[in-house]
Amino acid sequence: MIFKEKTSGGRWERPELHRLLEHLRKGDVVVVLRLDRLSRSLKDLLSLIERIDRAGAGFRSLTEMIGTTSAGGRMMMHIVGTFAEFERTVLRERTRAGLDAARRQGRVGGRHPKLIRHQQEEIINMVISGQKTAADAARLFNVHPSTISRRLLGSVKKT
């Protein structure tokens, strides 16, 4: 059986993984392309491998060419899993440091606003004065109606 998961290996809520674990039978072998496809944390990886072992099944990772069928394979799996967890932690720290540095320089992430300040003010005035409905203003400025609603709610909170 082939189970294809679309959710990241860093999350526990993965329906296909849970389905795979429910279908495991003695003598089965769980094969993954890479260890980090199964789990990104060593703790979770070891927990999953233990669960696979309890079912009487084996495990193999194709890229790392390791598995649970030998003592050497188990040792290598622990080592590679440790490095994968380390790599993810370092990446998270670098990303956080980069975002913090950008904030200190006054840069803010995210999408640029669809409407510039004077357009936002014009929309608020049109809708509040009754010249246009929120839906009409959205069509006029080529934005989603929820963009207009957020602007209107923001203006009400400020007054």
Residue 49 maps to which CATH number? 3.40.50.1390
| Average of per-residue pLDDT across 54-76 | 84
Whether pLDDT at 122 is above 80 = yes
pLDDT at residue number 48? 86
pTM of the predicted model, to two decimals? 0.47
Is there a domain that residue 35 lies in?
Answer: yes
Say whether both 68 and 141 belong to one domain: no
pLDDT at residue number 38? 80
Q: Mapping DSSP to helix (H, G, I), strand (E, B) and coil, where does residue 5 land?
A: coil
Say whether both 64 and 97 belong to one domain: yes
Which stretches does DSSP call E strand in 7-95? Answer: 29-32, 58-61, 66-67
pLDDT at residue number 104? 93
- What residues make up the domain containing 142? 117-158
Question: For the CA atoms of the chain, what is the radius of gyration?
Answer: 26
Closest CA to 59 of 41, 40, 78: 78
Rounded to the nearest integer, the mean pLDDT of the chain is 84
Is there a domain that residue 132 lies in?
Answer: yes
Say whether both 49 and 96 belong to one domain: yes
Q: How does pLDDT run across 87-97, given as a tens digit for each residue?
A: 888 999 999 99
Number of domains in the chain: 2
| Average of per-residue pLDDT across 15-39 | 86
Say whether both 24 and 99 belong to one domain: yes
